[in-house]
Amino acid sequence: MKYTKINLISVITILFFGSYQSQISQGGTPFSFTHNISTPINEFLIDQPSSKDIELAKIDEKETYKVGIIKSTNLSLLNNGTWINHADGSKSGFLKIRSKSALGLSLFFDNFSIPDGAEMFIYNSNKKHLIGKFNSITNSKNLLTHTQVVEGEMITIEYFEPSNAIGNLKIDIHKVGYIFRGFEDYLEPFKSNSSSFTPKIAEFCQVDVACSPENIGWSEQIDAVVHFTYTDPNYIYVCSSSVINNTSQDCTPYIFTAWHCGEPNANQNLSGYTWYWNYQKTSCQPNTNASNPSKGNQTMINGVVKATSGSGTLNNPPSSNQVAGSDFTLIELNTTIPSNYNAYFAGWDRSNSLVSNGVGIHHPNGSAKKISTFNSNLTSTSYNGGAFNAHWEVYWDATSNGHGVTEAGSSGSPIFNQYKRIVGQLSGGSSICSSPANFNDLYGKFSTSWTSNGNTNGSQLEPWLDPLSLNINSIDGTYPPGGGSSLSCIIGLYSDSVDQGTPMDFFGGSNSSTASYSWEFDINGLGGVSPTTSTDQDPSGIIFNTAGNFNVELTVTSGQGVCTIDTIIVVSSNTGINNYDHLLNIVFPNPNNGIFNLKLSSKDFNELGNGYIFNSIGEVILEIDLKSSENMLVNLKENSPGVYYLKFEKKPFISQKIIIID
């Protein structure tokens, strides 16, 4: 965040053209992890940046955020590696690279090709941070240009080639990224237990997305936000972004961010970009429990720019330290996002309508994912040379766990309205923890980015996000088929029977911590219920003033889907009901396999009349002559497992639930 213009005139030196394979690890275990290899491995030292170099890199810290320095090298696994021949004709190659005091390292390749049947891994010194395997699948769809950041000052490339491998090996490294800040949270789980490494976290007021109540209702949107790095010839930078939906809802892997994060052009093939999913803490605790190591390798690389304000006509080209138009970029990744990344394709609203409340979700200072909350109307404004009124102005509010703002590295992150749809992306601002209520942030308007930056496809969101030409103002988000976790829900009750006029409490539950709840207490329309609906998860004090069997339904909604469940509440008349309390337990066994007994007295026969068994949708499936016997055997084995109800002809307010299991 906190924008500054980056001069990318010479960036062509690290840009390649064509299609690029995303950096998706294939899994597995390096050969040396299961075999004893005692041969010493050659180590190559990359010059550590000087303190002056690092201080220079920190200039404009509150602007676009540099986290790494790119160092030139000339290393080849084939020529510089340590090679070991095995008895079966296979061979292993190792290359260690060290740069003193680095928080992490990233490798940039000018040649990358792995023979069919061979595989490569990269890991840190304690072997906790392992990426790979990379194999012929990695290069069959074209070149692996670089790696994600791997923890520590020393990393090892390990290559294994069986005797029957086919093809030529080319793993040539021409640059190494030296990470000096901005990845502390990310790398924390991979460091040695004995390390004196102290994470630098985001500012003290920031709120982790694991914190409740700030995250309630926003779990899907949290899954949409993605941390990323990009490069110029000298540095590595961090920004934030989001995965975004389109009207065909085909889960095209679109990434939405700010133009000033790299200043790309439409149709540009990106190189040096790395996308990091699920980089977030798993509990609401500052300084601890950083990103789950199992999720640390959920990355992809590069992509193609589809549209950007930098290809439009609104203040383009901008002067130094200015933004172009509404400051947006839309990128399409080169491959489908793996389902286990749990990516949520966020919805959007291009209407420019009133936004009364919502959240921003972002990665300040390259830290684990944070959430900031606002409860006042966004206002239109102009920002930093951009188009007139092309930005939203927001002031953040204090919440239970802090007072979220934004920082450097938050740039490009989405702001969501009260309907959980993207209405803009972060351009810059001045919000700060020391005075969070007094300073604003500015988000490029989604409505302006839709068609107002220019007349070409490369300057508009509309051609890409409305490919069906529906001309709608908004769309909700979605998980892809097979993505997200399956939604389930339950109703909890102290009792499923109650006397007329007696308050009753309900309890709802699901496997989503941020779902919404909708209750209806009188689906079958008997009347006399107060209230008839509720949106509380655990509504209390519900009063049924009419005797009968009430169908109560709970609907749970999240980005994972919709779950509906119902139950029957038996409401007994106050008049003489206590004389029939024993009738609530006349079915035995219960639950049963479809065969059960009814035990009644002769007095019951005369006062109740015949009995009727209903299914869950109110259909009579069996009529019972209650005068036939005091202990009657009922056979419902031909019916499907489920819940059924016994009611009586003369006392319909008395009902017994019957549970049949397979």
User: Torsion angle of alpha carbons 274, 137, 265, 479, nearest 10°?
Assistant: -70
Instruction: Return the structure tokens found at 359.
Output: 């959240």
The 3-state DSSP class for residue 294 equals helix
73 CB-contact burial (10 Å; exposed 0-12 / middle 13-18 / buried 19+): middle
Dihedral sign (CA 456, 461, 462, 468): positive
Task: Please state whether beta strands 441-445 and 421-429 pair in parallel, antiparallel, or not at all (unpaired).
Answer: antiparallel
How many whole angstroms separate alpha carbon 213 and alpha carbon 199?
25
How many whole angstroms separate alpha carbon 123 and alpha carbon 150?
7
320 CB-contact burial (10 Å; exposed 0-12 / middle 13-18 / buried 19+): exposed
Q: Which phi and psi angles does 124 have, rounded to 5°?
A: -90, -175
Give the amino acid at 635: N
User: What residues contact 619, with CB distance under 8 A and at least 6 apart?
Assistant: none
Query: DSSP character for 116?
Result: B
- Is the bond leading into 539 cis (omega within 30 degrees of zero)? no
Q: Residue 554 in contact with residue 518, Cβ under 8 Å?
A: yes
506 CB-contact burial (10 Å; exposed 0-12 / middle 13-18 / buried 19+): buried
Catalogue the E-assigned strands of 485-573: 489-492, 497-499, 507-510, 516-520, 529-530, 533-534, 543-544, 548-558, 561-572
Q: Which residues are catalytic?
A: 260, 327, 411
How many whole angstroms separate alpha carbon 600 and alpha carbon 597?
10
**E strand or H helix that includes residue 52:** helix 51-57
13 CB-contact burial (10 Å; exposed 0-12 / middle 13-18 / buried 19+): exposed
The 3-state DSSP class for residue 126 equals coil
Cα separations in angstroms, 113 against 49, 90, 143, 156? 30, 18, 7, 18
How many whole angstroms separate alpha carbon 69 and alpha carbon 189?
23
Burial 625-639 (b: 16+ CB within 10 A, else e): ebeeeeebebebeee
How many whole angstroms separate alpha carbon 25 and alpha carbon 48?
29
Instruction: Return the structure tokens found at 132.
Output: 């790979």
- 414 forms beta bridges with 425
| Closest to 120 (Cα-Cα) out of 133, 102, 137, 139 | 133
The 3-state DSSP class for residue 576 equals coil
